[in-house]
A and B are shown apart, each in its own frame.
Chain A
Amino acid sequence: MSQDTTNSDTTTLGWDPTDPHGINPHDDDHHGHFVADYRMQVTILAILLAFTVVTVGFYNLEQWVEVSFGILLPKWVNIAGVMSIAVVKAVLVGAFFMQLKYDKVLNTFVILFCLFCVALFLGFAMIDLDDRGLVDPMKAGEIQAGGTGVGLNAAPADPRFAVDLAPKINTGGKSLVQYARLNGNKLHPGLNAYRDNPDMDEADFWSEFYGSHATHRDELDESNYFESLGFAHHDAVSTANASHPRHGITPGLFSDVDPAEGHSAGGEHATESHDDGH
């Protein structure tokens, strides 16, 4: 770093190369910038990766508990569990990687107020899910499984309502899922191979799916595909986590089992699905 070994160009520098302030000599307070500690950052990274493992472990634990002990965990367990771990990870990233802990409080306040607005948005919008038909019975229609039963190609009420931009699909009044199921062979010619060769990847996946999942969907097995794979047995399933038919005065939106509808929900569900699409 001796000056005399440098060529004449460096002597035209307006500043001393050893002075870290460079051209801004009055920047005395930049010593206030917090420089993170390398070890601290690596530790935080390790903790974050560990929490990722915990999250995945929690998920697998839930699966295992359900299958092994037959307990049906309520929905909120999953949400609460993985979300709380995610919140901890986000706080760690924010406080240490983004250095909110060492920064001016205003920055933290900005982000906290933003999160408050997000909570308002989600919270208030979700409050509106129920009670729609109480004031005006006209709005108490049922949102049925599969939608209104009118497919994507129902005749429009008015020519101005003709769907133009989306790819034209004539589902003949069926829901998109039913249509795809019935026409799987036409849409994906290669899928015929699944019937002939059950060792294909798709079957493997579904085998694992049925093996690890506590509920069955046989009532929707219209083409008897899964029956042909050997999954022909029915297990009685709790409808605790099932969707109710939604209508304007559905009570108990947030409770897992609705006593008034526990039976009918399952029954309606089954009959609806058999009635549609044939």
Chain B
Amino acid sequence: MTMMTDTDTTNIPARILQSPKHWRNRPFAHHWRTGDEEFDAAKLGMWLFLSTEILLFAGIFCGYAIFRLLYPEAWANGSHYLDWRFGAANTAVLLVSSWTAANSVRLAQLDKQFWFKINIVITIICAALFLFIKLKFEYLAKLPAGKAPGTFFSYPFAHDPHEPLWWSLYYIGTGLHAFHVIVGAILFAVVLWRAFRYQSYGPTQYTLVENSALYWHIVDVIWIFLFPLLYLIH
């Protein structure tokens, strides 16, 4: 597969081209034989870290599964409080952002800097949109009504005695996930800043882009599982 790059350096100021952080000027670490080895190792390391993230959420899924078995009515009731349309919208937002993240990796590989930055920006915007939908239409709609975790629960129309348990798991699951969305967005913000300031990412140096995108995809996959489990219980 031929690599078609947009290597046009005429419009890039010399300050950036000569910066040691420009992707052409960044060497790989001294204990690696080639840059490719460093990249592959970084990717393997990232996959190992992603498996820890999955196991972190596994605890929540385990608690969810056990209590869904024990209290199916509370779970069904709880799911009915959630509007699946917001959940579906959030799912769509994350899927699109996943696509733009994967696209940004592709564009970094092709040295298409402008579109690369655009895709990163869209990914961050999608992250913000996800958080906005979650916060405004879900959390801030529910918390004042008393649908809150733990002892803050005070919703008078609950039917099943175990609904506070549902709410606790809902908030912890989606809250932990939202925290990871924020971390992912920060990673992409770092990538964006370095891309603007130093043009740090290109065909031979795009490790952080790749790893941030991998992290983002895992965040997306976790939401793919959280969405039907929380919103679509029958």
Decide if A and B touch, CB cutoff 8 A: yes
A-B contact count (CB 8 A): 263
Most chain B CB inside 10 Å of its own CB: which residue of A66, A89, A98: A98
Contact with B along A63-99 (1 / 0, CB 8 A): 1001000000101011000110110011001101111
Q: Which residue of B lies closest to A185 (CB)?
A: B156
- A33 contacts across to B, CB distance below 8 A: 36, 39, 109, 203
Instruction: Judge if B65 is at the interface, Cβ distance under 8 Å.
Output: yes
- A162 contacts across to B, CB distance below 8 A: none
Contact of A22 among B25, B88, B155, B156 (CB under 8 A): B25
Q: A22-B24, A29-B36 are in contact. Are A253 and B95 (CB under 8 A)?
A: no
- B84 contacts across to A, CB distance below 8 A: 56, 59
> Nearest Cβ in chain A — how far from B152, in angstroms?
7
- B105 contacts across to A, CB distance below 8 A: 36
- CB pair A107 B156 closer than 8 Å: no
- B92 contacts across to A, CB distance below 8 A: 49, 52
Contact of B232 among A10, A23, A59, A175 (CB under 8 A): A59
Instruction: Judge if A161 is at the interface, Cβ distance under 8 Å.
Output: no
CB proximity to A under 8 Å, residues B143-164:
145-146, 150-164
Q: A1-B9, A166-B151, A241-B72 are in contact. Are A220 and B159 (CB under 8 A)?
A: yes
Instruction: Judge if A233 is at the interface, Cβ distance under 8 Å.
Output: no
Q: A73-B234, A104-B40 are in contact. Are A111 and B50 (CB under 8 A)?
A: yes
- B72 contacts across to A, CB distance below 8 A: 75, 241-243
Instruction: Judge if A270 is at the interface, Cβ distance under 8 Å.
Output: no
Contact of A20 among B5, B61, B91, B213 (CB under 8 A): B5
- CB pair B7 A83 closer than 8 Å: no
CB proximity to B under 8 Å, residues A1-60:
1, 5-7, 9-10, 12-13, 15, 17-18, 20-24, 26-27, 29-36, 38, 41-42, 44-45, 48-49, 52, 55-56, 58-59
Q: A13-B18, A27-B35, A56-B84 are in contact. Are A180 and B234 (CB under 8 A)?
A: no
- B162 contacts across to A, CB distance below 8 A: 145, 177
- B55 contacts across to A, CB distance below 8 A: 114, 117-118, 121
- In this complex, the interface size class of chain A, counting residues with CB under 8 Å from chain B, is 35 or more
> Nearest Cβ in chain A — how far from B182, in angstroms?
20
- B5 contacts across to A, CB distance below 8 A: 20
**Stretch of B131-139, B171-179, B184-192, B220-228 that contacts chain A:** B220-228
- A36 contacts across to B, CB distance below 8 A: 102-103, 105-106
- A184 contacts across to B, CB distance below 8 A: 146, 154-157
> Nearest Cβ in chain B — how far from A135, in angstroms?
20
CB proximity to B under 8 Å, residues A111-128:
111, 113-115, 117-118, 121-122, 125-126
- CB pair A181 B156 closer than 8 Å: yes
Contact with A along B26-60 (1 / 0, CB 8 A): 11100000111001100110011011001100110
Q: Which residue of B lies closest to A128 (CB)?
A: B66
> Nearest Cβ in chain A — how far from B54, in angstroms?
5
Cα–Cα distance between A141 and B160 once the two chains are bound (Å)? 20
- CB pair A89 B102 closer than 8 Å: no
- CB pair B157 A206 closer than 8 Å: yes
- A185 contacts across to B, CB distance below 8 A: 156
Contact of A188 among B44, B146, B204, B228 (CB under 8 A): B146
Cα–Cα distance between A111 and B80 once the two chains are bound (Å)? 33
Q: Which residue of B lies closest to A277 (CB)?
A: B161
Cα–Cα distance between A1 and B72 once the two chains are bound (Å)? 68
> Nearest Cβ in chain A — how far from B2, in angstroms?
9
Instruction: Judge if B23 is at the interface, Cβ distance under 8 Å.
Output: yes
- B156 contacts across to A, CB distance below 8 A: 180-185, 187-188, 191
Cα–Cα distance between A41 and B102 once the two chains are bound (Å)? 8
- CB pair B232 A24 closer than 8 Å: no
- CB pair B65 A122 closer than 8 Å: yes
Q: A20-B203, A56-B88, A114-B51 are in contact. Are A30 and B35 (CB under 8 A)?
A: yes
Q: Which residue of A lies closest to B76 (CB)?
A: A241
Most chain B CB inside 10 Å of its own CB: which residue of A6, A30, A97: A97
What 4 new A-B contacts, CB under 8 Å, besides A93-B221, A143-B70? A45-B96, A49-B92, A55-B232, A90-B221
Closest 3 CB pairs of A and B: A184-B156, A22-B24, A114-B51
- Mind listing 22 A-B residue pairs with CB under 8 Å? A10-B14, A10-B17, A22-B25, A22-B205, A36-B102, A55-B227, A56-B84, A56-B88, A59-B231, A89-B221, A90-B224, A96-B102, A98-B214, A98-B217, A111-B50, A122-B58, A176-B164, A180-B158, A184-B146, A202-B157, A213-B80, A242-B73
